[in-house]
């Protein structure tokens, strides 16, 4: 689908989680609908919930509860997080080629930066069997969420790398903005939860239709 005009020399690759490494929509949708059902609110089809993912748990809950249901936010957050914590690996799966590609890139520093809560980010990576491959894992909780560049800049500093030799890989516009504002290169995957047309218009350094294509663009 995409042709690559150049390859990138990087030392650090930082990945988003949901929609980039793993398709977590089924478990997120189940948790969201558990909360809605418990609160007596209309449930949402997975296709609608897909467009609500991003921005951290509070924003996600506010979206699936819907306008006018702000009074249920705290309870909805509690219900969905409790359910998701127990079931985050039931239906979630790595995208095709993720485990094999990460193994082929193991000579680089690899990290994860997600807006998902830190404990849940680590839990999903552990359940998926890929947690040990990352030199750093950062989720929401202590630093600002993407699209702030602060958490990416913190990872770069922590691992002793430079922005110019760092690649931020994600499926949303927030990932592109985060990478650019941190001074890093950016790669967008078009198979995730972001809108492919919007990602193309944002002109990241590279667009990927398959995760495995990473090995074709990295020296």
User: What Cα–Cα distance (Å) separates residue 183 from each residue in 84, 127, 134, 143, 180?
Assistant: 34, 32, 21, 18, 5
Catalytic residues: 16
> What does each C-alpha distance from 136 to 118, 126, 139, 219 come to in angstroms?
11, 13, 10, 21
**Beta pairing, strands 109-117 & 185-189:** unpaired
- What is the model's pLDDT at position 120? 98
Distance, first Cα to last Cα, the chain: 20
What's the pLDDT tens digit per position in 48-92? 999 999 999 999 999 999 999 999 999 999 999 999 999 999 999
Note the pLDDT tens digit of each residue in 103-139. 999 999 999 999 999 999 999 999 999 999 999 999 9
Closest CA to 94 of 184, 24, 141, 199: 24
Q: Report the pLDDT value the prediction gives residue 5, as an integer from 0 to 100.
A: 53
Question: For residue 1, what pLDDT is reported?
Answer: 41
Percent of the chain surpassing pLDDT 90: 95
Q: What is the pTM of this model?
A: 0.96
pLDDT value of position 3: 46
């Amino acid at each position: 689908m995409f042709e690559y005009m150049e390859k990138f020399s990087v030392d650090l690759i930082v990945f988003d989680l949901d929609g980039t490494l793993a398709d977590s929509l089924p478990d997120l949708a189940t948790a969201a609908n558990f909360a809605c059902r418990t609160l007596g609110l209309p449930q949402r089809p997975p296709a609608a919930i897909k467009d609500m993912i991003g921005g951290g748990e509070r924003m996600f809950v506010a979206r699936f509860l819907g306008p006018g249901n702000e009074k249920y936010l705290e309870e909805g957050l509690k219900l969905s997080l409790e359910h998701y914590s127990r079931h985050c690996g039931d239906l979630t799966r790595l995208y095709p080629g993720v485990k094999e590609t990460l193994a082929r890139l193991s000579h680089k520093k690899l990290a994860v930066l997600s807006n998902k809560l830190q404990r849940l980010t680590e839990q999903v990576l552990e359940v998926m069997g890929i947690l040990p491959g990352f030199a750093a894992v950062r989720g929401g909780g202590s630093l600002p969420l993407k699209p702030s560049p602060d958490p990416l800049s913190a990872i770069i500093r922590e691992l002793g790398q430079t922005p110019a030799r760092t690649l931020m890989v994600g499926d949303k516009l927030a990932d592109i903005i985060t990478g650019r504002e941190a001074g890093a290169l950016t790669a967008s995957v078009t198979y995730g939860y972001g809108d492919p047309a919007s990602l193309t218009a944002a002109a990241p350094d590279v667009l990927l239709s398959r995760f495995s294509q990473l090995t074709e663009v990295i020296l």
